[in-house]
Structure 1
Amino acid sequence: MSITAHQVVTLHYVLSDVLSDGSTRVLDDSNERHKPLEYLHSHDNILPGLERALEGKKVGDELSVTLSPADAYGLRNEDLVQEVSRASFGSAELAPGSCFQTEGEAGPQIVTVLSIDGNNVTVDTNHPLAGHTLRYQVNVLDVREATRAELAKGHPLPPGTEHGKVEDRKVL
């Protein structure tokens, strides 16, 4: 079965950042966690560039996909670096490099603390991987039809669930 819209795809991946000299730095490896990624194809569950590359692939296929910043998390926007009041963080411990998830105009966003100067905190609301070229090494493990409940929810559901609730199971 080939990967097409409305199918649940299970895969292992290694995500790397492609550095300016062409070398790579591994950012995430599902193999190391022994936990493959499962997603619902064509429902905006993964990066669009990666999803396009997976279209038509089959179980057992292995591929390498390099995504430019525009096809991944976008280009860096220096207008998204701003100074805010320390009070905006309540009692949270702050240090350069600290990351927080906040609600932005377009939904949840990650905020990274760049520097702290007294009561002023400089933050960056660009995605941490904005401006980065990314490389995915992917191994397709499984492809199956999504259930009606998964299509309604827009993502895969754990086995034994219907409409998001665990079904009663009888022990035989």
Structure 2
Amino acid sequence: MQQAKKGDTVRVHYTGKLTTGEQFDSSAGREPLEFEVGAGMMIKGFDDAVVGMAIGDKKTINIPPNEAYGERNDQMVIDFPLSNFPDDMTPEIGMQLMMNNSAGQQFPVTITEVKEEVVVLDANHMLAGKELVFDIEMVEIDSKGLIIVP
């Protein structure tokens, strides 16, 4: 039976959870997730986990932060002057915004605190610093144009 390897395009169903059991993503009710193994399209731990899987295989994996979204970085939390917000915007905890860096690149931030003069913005990925648990089921393997289905 063919096993997924680097360079193959695979389709998988998955459910992503935190170690607390809280689900943060799933392909349930949607098309399977498609990606090229080893192309850097997925977090490292997920990418590595599908190597060697055959169609119909199911597994549960734990991915440490360094193979997922990295550790939290306190330097990515900034105080942003409340006076720089538009007058018609009321910042609230949990609100997600897009900011520009000095090179003009956009990146997402989340409001984590609203103080009298500043709003605390966190540019860390929401899953940074967390161990992730994925249930994965291999659905399809396309090895250089040869599609293998059950």
- Bin the TM-score by the shorter chain: 0.7 to 0.9
Corresponding residue number in structure 2 for 1:116: 114
Q: CA deviation at 1:102?
A: 3.7
Q: CA deviation at 1:12?
A: 0.4
Corresponding residue number in structure 2 for 1:7: 8
Provide the rounded CA distance (Å) in 2 between the counterparts of 1:146 and 1:113: 45
Task: Indicate yes or no: 2:37 matched with 1:71.
Answer: no
SS at match of 2:22: strand
Corresponding residue number in structure 1 for 2:95: 98
Out of 27, 32, 39, which is 1:30 matched to? 27
Gaps of at least 5 residues in structure 1 are: 148-172
Distance 1:85 1:146, change over 3 A: farther
Q: How does 1:77-96 map to 2 (within 5 A)?
A: 77-86=73-82, 88-90=84-86, 92-96=89-93
Q: CA deviation at 1:92?
A: 4.9
Provide the rounded CA distance (Å) in 2 between the counterparts of 1:75 and 1:116: 24
Q: CA deviation at 1:86?
A: 3.3
Q: CA deviation at 1:27?
A: 1.2
* Percent identical residues: 23
Task: Indicate yes or no: 2:49 matched with 1:48.
Answer: no
Q: Counterpart amino acid of 1:132?
A: K
Provide the rounded CA distance (Å) in 2 between the counterparts of 1:43 and 1:110: 24
Runs of 4+ displaced beyond 4 Å? 87-93
Confirm or deny: 8 A CA contact 1:109 1:127 kept in the other structure: no
Q: CA deviation at 1:87?
A: 5.3
TM-score (norm 1): 0.72
Gaps of at least 5 residues in structure 2 are: 146-150
Out of 134, 142, 145, which is 2:132 matched to? 134
TM-score (norm 2): 0.82
Q: CA deviation at 1:8?
A: 1.1
Please give the root-mean-square deviation of Cα atoms over the aligned residues, in Å.
Answer: 2.1
Provide the rounded CA distance (Å) in 2 between the counterparts of 1:4 and 1:57: 8
Corresponding residue number in structure 2 for 1:61: 57
SS at match of 1:51: helix
Q: Which region of structure 1 is more displaced relative to structure 2, 57-66 or 107-116?
A: 107-116
Provide the rounded CA distance (Å) in 2 between the counterparts of 1:65 and 1:88: 44
Distance 1:132 1:41, change over 3 A: same
Corresponding residue number in structure 2 for 1:157: none
